[in-house]
Amino acid sequence: MTMKTNKDRNDGLNRREFLKRLGVGAAVSTAVLAGCDSKNNSISGDRSAQGEIPTDRMTYRTNPSTGDRVSLLGFGMMRLPSVGGRSAREGNEEIDQELVNELVDYAIAHGVNYFDTSPAYCRGMSERATGIALSRYPRDKYFIATKLSNFAPATWSREASIAMYRNSLKELQVDYIDYLLLHGVGMGNGMKDMEARYIDNGVLEFLMEERRAGRIRNLGFSYHGDVKVFDYLLSRHDYYKWDFVQIQLNYLDWKYAKQINARNTDAEYLYGELAKRNIPAVIMEPLLGGRLSNVPNRIVARLKQREPEKSVASWAFRFAGSFPDVLTVLSGMTRMEHLQDNLRTYAPLDSLTDDEFDFLQRMAAQMMEFDTIPCNDCKYCMPCPYGLDIPAILLHYNKCINDGNVPVSSKDENYREARRAYLIGYDRSVPKLRQANHCIGCGQCSPHCPQRIDIPKELRRIDKFVEDLKQGKDL
């Protein structure tokens, strides 16, 4: 793909120009089907029409810093399968290494070469499982991305942070890391925490030395939260020379991230600032924690009316992949069907047209009418010291809102049915001992939430809502 000139980059917010330069008119049309979220990965396309997945049609993007030819689909190793069939982020089950190997084999055979992990993923087991799976291949067959995930103050010292980095090399069974990220800058106390984790202790300088020595091939950061941190790090780009930056981008967050949560930053701004500086963007949360594969029913109807054979989720993956300065789009994939569905989206990419982009923005505007909680099911809030399943509580509430099953008044025509559906679904989704009524408001969860949700407040609200439903009160 041809990179833009400096003048082009200065027009970073002009979406139509982006699409034109990408060559939308020449894009190959294909049956683009489901990218899947980690939890339910619902596929609503016509599976009978999918056919075989080509092994030689993956869309690639070129890293201008290194010339790396990177697959547009990146394998996020955050939701690896456990021996019990669930994501290893849930429960205490071990990772199913045999299935991880199968998924990696299939991905590589179909052109995927970017694998993203972290010391924090899968309860600390992701890097080891990733290393076992990839070490069976020649080192030049794949790119490894991992993170310096020194979230806890006990890991902020120079010695502890460097030890974490070196342990990543050991677990991954490599002598260099292709893409190394400062993990989650902007979270917590914003600039104060970022400086304590990476600047004051000299860790960022150490990582730059490692890059000069070739043990890190690309150095970047993943951004959540306080935009002052994002702006500061980009203002020092001439010094730090960021090779890439990982941001949250999807068609809802494009213009509404800050409206969803005042702490967040609209993806339009984040991407535009990177494009101005010719810094490749790695995309996380293309489905916004699964919300964009489980959209409200009336949105589903509009999407299916427009493209009956395409999945709901594929629209989100096409949106993220259609920006020319996007290097790769990460997807956590627990089962083979998830991987296959995502491959169909990017092998090859059927880029959005201007009209489709505008259509998705109209859908996003309609979705903002729904009073959902901006939970991405990242599980950074877990484990709860009192055993609550926080993501399951929030996601059940969101699902019922999206499905129109949140009763308001006993005078509503469907009050009885909606009340029953909510309460039965709640008990099925969340064991009674892990429901919102057991929250004591300790607040240990909220500082870890990338979306800055006031979790105890939302749990109290949901608990009151549930109790009012049980008593048959108007809400």
What's the pLDDT tens digit per position in 203-217? 999 999 999 999 999
Q: Which two tokens stand for residue 342?
A: 């995502």
Residue 174 lies inside a defined structural domain of this protein:
yes
DSSP three-state, residue 44: coil
357 and 457 assigned to the same domain: no
Q: What is the mean pLDDT of residues 293-307?
A: 89
Q: Which residue would you say has higher pLDDT here, 210 or 27?
A: 210
- CA-wise closest residue to 124 among 151, 99, 105: 151
- CA-wise closest residue to 121 among 199, 222, 220, 193: 222
Q: Tokens 């690309």 identify what position?
A: 218
352 and 394 assigned to the same domain: no
Digit-coded pLDDT (tens) for 377-414:
888 898 899 999 998 898 888 877 777 666 666 666 77
Please state which of the ranges 155-169, 255-269, 458-472 shows the lowest mean pLDDT: 458-472
Tell me which DSSP letter residue 227 carries. H
Residue 19 lies inside a defined structural domain of this protein:
no
Tell me which DSSP letter residue 449 carries. -
Residue 326 lies inside a defined structural domain of this protein:
yes
Range of the domain at 433: 390-470
Residue 12 predicted with pLDDT over 60: no
Residue 292 lies inside a defined structural domain of this protein:
yes
Three-class SS of 350-363: CCCCHHHHHHHHHH
Residue 376 predicted with pLDDT over 90: no
Last residue of a domain, one of 335, 367, 399: 367
113 and 216 assigned to the same domain: yes
Please state which of the ranges 50-64, 88-102, 267-281 shows the lowest mean pLDDT: 88-102
Residue 309 lies inside a defined structural domain of this protein:
yes
The rounded percent of the chain whose pLDDT value lies above 70 is: 86
Confidence grade of residue 372 (pLDDT, cut at 50, 70, 90): confident
Q: What is the mean pLDDT of residues 71-92?
A: 85
Q: Give Cα 13 to chain centroid, integer Å.
A: 22
Confidence grade of residue 15 (pLDDT, cut at 50, 70, 90): very low
133 and 242 assigned to the same domain: yes
Helix H or strand E encompassing 26: none
358 and 430 assigned to the same domain: no
Q: What is the mean pLDDT of residues 421-450?
A: 89
Helices 15-22 & 354-367 angle (0-180, nearest 10): 140
Q: What is the pLDDT of residue 425?
A: 86
As beta bridge partners, residue 82 has 95
Q: Which two tokens stand for residue 4?
A: 């833009």
Confidence grade of residue 367 (pLDDT, cut at 50, 70, 90): confident
Q: What is the mean pLDDT of residues 242-260?
A: 96
Q: What is the pLDDT of residue 19?
A: 40
Q: What is the pLDDT of residue 251?
A: 98
> Do residues 176 and 216 make contact, with C-beta atoms less than 8 angstroms apart?
yes
Confidence grade of residue 267 (pLDDT, cut at 50, 70, 90): very high
424 and 295 assigned to the same domain: no
Digit-coded pLDDT (tens) for 127-186:
999 999 999 999 999 999 999 999 999 999 999 999 999 999 999 999 999 999 999 999
28: left (phi over 0), alpha (psi -120 to 50) or beta: beta
> Do residues 37 and 287 make contact, with C-beta atoms less than 8 angstroms apart?
yes
30 and 169 assigned to the same domain: yes
Q: What is the mean pLDDT of residues 446-458?
A: 84
CA distance 302 to 371: 20
Residue 13 predicted with pLDDT over 70: no
Mean pLDDT of the chain: 86
As beta bridge partners, residue 144 has 115
Last residue of a domain, one of 367, 382, 417: 367
Q: Which residue would you say has higher pLDDT here, 276 or 461?
A: 276
Digit-coded pLDDT (tens) for 45-73:
443 345 789 999 999 999 998 999 999 99
Q: What is the pLDDT of residue 35?
A: 30
333 and 448 assigned to the same domain: no
268 and 413 assigned to the same domain: no
Q: Which two tokens stand for residue 133?
A: 């799976």
Residue 147 lies inside a defined structural domain of this protein:
yes
| Reported pTM | 0.77
Residue 450 predicted with pLDDT over 80: no
Residue 36 predicted with pLDDT over 50: no
Q: What is the mean pLDDT of residues 240-269?
A: 95
How many domains does the structure of the chain reveal?
2
142 and 265 assigned to the same domain: yes
Last residue of a domain, one of 352, 367, 382: 367
Confidence grade of residue 419 (pLDDT, cut at 50, 70, 90): confident
287 and 417 assigned to the same domain: no
Q: What is the pLDDT of residue 408?
A: 63
Residue 114 lies inside a defined structural domain of this protein:
yes
Confidence grade of residue 310 (pLDDT, cut at 50, 70, 90): confident
> Do residues 260 and 266 make contact, with C-beta atoms less than 8 angstroms apart?
no
Q: Which residue would you say has higher pLDDT here, 9 or 95?
A: 95
212 and 296 assigned to the same domain: yes
Can you give the CATH number for the domain in which 277 is found?
3.20.20.100
Residue 382 lies inside a defined structural domain of this protein:
no
Q: What is the pLDDT of residue 290?
A: 82
> Do residues 135 and 183 make contact, with C-beta atoms less than 8 angstroms apart?
no
Q: What is the mean pLDDT of residues 301-325?
A: 94
- CA-wise closest residue to 66 among 215, 178, 233, 155: 178
CA distance 92 to 39: 16
Residue 44 predicted with pLDDT over 50: no
